Structure 1
Amino acid sequence: MTKALIDPALQSLDMRSRDIFRRIVESYLRDGEPVGSRNLSRMLPSSLSPATVRNVMSDLEQLGLIYAPHVSAGRLPTQQGLRFFVDAFMELGDLSEEERRVIEAQVKASGSGATLEQMLTEASQMLSGMSRGAGLVVTATNEVALKHIEFIPLEPTRALVVLVSQNGDVENRVVDLPAGTTASQLHEASNFLNAHIRGRTLAEARTELSRIQEETRTALDALSQGLVEKGLAVWAGNESGLPARLIVRGRANLLENITAQADLELLRRLFEDLETQDGLIQLLGLAEQGSGVRIFIGSENKLFSLSGSSLVVAPYRDKDARVIGALGVIGPTRLNYARIVPMVDYTAQIVSRMLR
């Protein structure tokens, strides 16, 4: 697991401060509620008075590790505090042999005769069920060989783009059209693309179309050229990143234990983030940096920073050991990290093995 560097000031905490801080975090991860000095003094094996515990909590608050959500309330860990706990205190659990068998059997069963997307969907569903969070998989599609593309008019300024790959995967996207677009122009753009992209991977298709468009620029009017480019962009994503698909299962799990209106607002923002295709490729980058499982808490992950969610993510690789996707679990900051990290790590290993 990739760990962050720990602030020297935090490393110098004495044993009493560390014990009190650890219990605050463990209580939060278990119950999601603030814990006060009186309850903490009862938890501690040594006979510390509530007043002594309050003094220690005050020091921890000054270090930015805990905070009071309300006046006279108990304390909760901050994002910095959770990061410190994960890096300095957390002991990773290990999957039981039974859990390993379940993960391996489920991924292999879905992978037998199934498409890659079906296998990854099953892996996402499984992670959701075992973690009680939302299982998340992002997969790059830049190596898919294209077979067919078609523009279907929906409204005067919108069309459905149907993209079919050689392996039978179908992807639908709605695109905006320039005013005045006619059905014949949509048909012309489809025919042009189909004549030149069949059997090519995305990267090859982009290169070939760039070359052909230079040679045939006078053969197509400006509007049809725009549609050609737009149609390819639907599949390819933006110019700066690889294409990506997102599979999310188990969103209903995120609704459990949500009581406050503020939590519901954060959840709404998370759902909006999950629907935003433009940022998905960031997940591949996050997983590719460093080795093994990575943990992102709250704003450490810019993709989900508004919702303050945590993400545990690991890359999976193809037969050439290239990172071609990432899978993991997303949920509130009080995820059971010690249990989820080995679960995500093992699932990524099994998926990688299946792709070899």
Structure 2
Amino acid sequence: MSLADLNERSKAIFRQIVETYLETGDPVGSRTISRTGSLGVSPATIRNVMADLEDVGLLAAPHTSAGRIPTDIGLRFFVDGLMEVGNLTKSEREAIRGKCATTGRAVEDVLSEATRALSGLSRCASVVMVPKQELSVRHIEFVPIAPGRALVVLVAEDGSVENRIIDIPIGLPASALIQAGNYLSARLVGRSIEDVASAVQAELSAKQAELDALTSKVVEDGLAVWTGGEAPASLIISGQGNLLESVQAAEDLERIRQLFDELERKKDLIKLMELAKDGRGVRLFIGAENNLFSLSGSSLVVSPYMNGANKIVGVIGVIGPTRLNYARIVPMVDYTARVVGRLL
């Protein structure tokens, strides 16, 4: 069933049910909808429409209640086609900008403040994926340590030193290692390995590097050991305590406990947030749409943010029950991501 299959009356009733549920958290009955007077239809008519909406999987009846709540499919149907996204107030925008101000602070400090701003305004938990820091390179050197083995020593602009071990052809002369180090240092100095890896690879492939085959292999392996396995991103999570404010019954408490467990599985959460880096704009993961939140019945609203080179480097968003005020949360997450991007 698509949105086009609903007539205007069914759309209006469905929207009213979802908006009432998101506001109250309680199952919505036909009398509740009819009392608003905005639809001009009888409770009996509303009941018939609700039964049709339940048949197609947009609504469900919890327990023995006469009311209905939207299913995860129904919420997706609502946010994709019926929801009217609100605007942030001037004070909300100022609060986000003020919290994220970067004067004299590191990137992680900015991102931490951004999550605190989001959790405070949304009254939910907020999360940000912190990008791997790409340090600029001062020097790279290949040091033989054993037959067929060499140490790749990288010195960053901030003075930090990292080492990796690579395999090299047995009997490779020391002059080839020196030449490989000089070749890479000349191209990497002041830049990150990630920035120049593709350019160096193209140069080697086009035989424009004036290196022999063995030295070229050392250069390729030296690059690969740094760029082949990207370090995992880290997460900053704020405002978990806000989630307890929505607890109304024992099953709500169990749901929050499950969500806390899910937040502890940061690897899975990072994988989910990585999906949002594939495109621009806000992305929603609602309830059982993703295995990570299948137990807690939670939603994640996230948006990627960019660095000064207009490159997506991380993701920030809000986690909470599926009964989120999506119309308010979506612009809030979108605005925060754009503010973080400008500041970075």
Q: Which residue number corresponds to residue 21 of structure 1?
A: 14
1:197 is displaced (CA, Å) by 6.0
In 2, Cα distance between equivalents of 1:117 and 1:344: 18
Q: Which residue number corresponds to residue 256 of structure 2?
A: 267
Question: Does structure 2 retain, via aligned residues, the 8 Å contact 1:245–1:280?
Answer: no
Tell me which of 313, 316, 331 is aligned to 2:320. 331
The answer to whether 1:349 aligns with 2:338 is yes
Matches within 5 A, 1:54-65: 54-65=47-58
2:81 is aligned with what amino acid?
A: A
2:96 is aligned with what amino acid?
A: I
Tell me which of 80, 83, 86 is aligned to 1:87. 80
Q: Which residue number corresponds to residue 231 of structure 1?
A: none
In 2, Cα distance between equivalents of 1:72 and 1:277: 37
The CA deviation string for residues 185-207 of structure 1, in whole angstroms up to 9 with x for no partner, is xxxxxxxxx99565399xx95xx
Higher mean alpha-carbon deviation, 285-294 vs 122-131, is at 285-294
Pair member with larger Rg: 2
1:99 is displaced (CA, Å) by 2.3
TM-score computed with the length of structure 1 as normaliser: 0.70
The answer to whether 1:141 aligns with 2:109 is no
* Structure 1 segments unaligned to the other structure (5+ residues): 1-6, 147-193, 216-238
Higher mean alpha-carbon deviation, 26-35 vs 281-290, is at 281-290
1:245 is aligned with what amino acid?
A: S
Question: Does structure 2 retain, via aligned residues, the 8 Å contact 1:68–1:74?
Answer: yes
1:62 is aligned with what amino acid?
A: D
The CA deviation string for residues 208-239 of structure 1, in whole angstroms up to 9 with x for no partner, is 52417999xxxxxxxxxxxxxxxxxxxxxxx9
Matches within 5 A, 1:111-150: 111-141=102-132, 143-144=134-135
Q: SS state of the match for residue 279, structure 1? A: helix
Matches within 5 A, 1:194-273: 196=153, 199=156, 209-211=164-166, 242-273=231-262
The CA deviation string for residues 7-32 of structure 1, in whole angstroms up to 9 with x for no partner, is 43x32111221111111101111000
Q: 1:240 to 1:34 in 2, by over 3 A?
A: farther
1:320 is displaced (CA, Å) by 1.9
* Structure 2 segments unaligned to the other structure (5+ residues): 138-150, 171-227
Q: Which residue number corresponds to residue 213 of structure 2?
A: none
In 2, Cα distance between equivalents of 1:40 and 1:294: 30
The CA deviation string for residues 242-292 of structure 1, in whole angstroms up to 9 with x for no partner, is 411111111111001212222222211211121113224324422212221
Question: Does structure 1 retain, via aligned residues, the 8 Å contact 2:22–2:323?
Answer: yes
Question: Does structure 1 retain, via aligned residues, the 8 Å contact 2:152–2:166?
Answer: no
Tell me which of 104, 114, 123 is aligned to 2:97. 104
Count of aligned pairs between the two proteins? 273
1:332 is aligned with what amino acid?
A: P
1:115 is aligned with what amino acid?
A: A
1:339 is aligned with what amino acid?
A: R
1:52 is displaced (CA, Å) by 2.0
Q: SS state of the match for residue 319, structure 2? A: strand
TM-score computed with the length of structure 2 as normaliser: 0.72
1:306 is displaced (CA, Å) by 2.6
Q: 1:200 to 1:276 in 2, by over 3 A?
A: farther
Q: Which residue number corresponds to residue 289 of structure 1?
A: 278
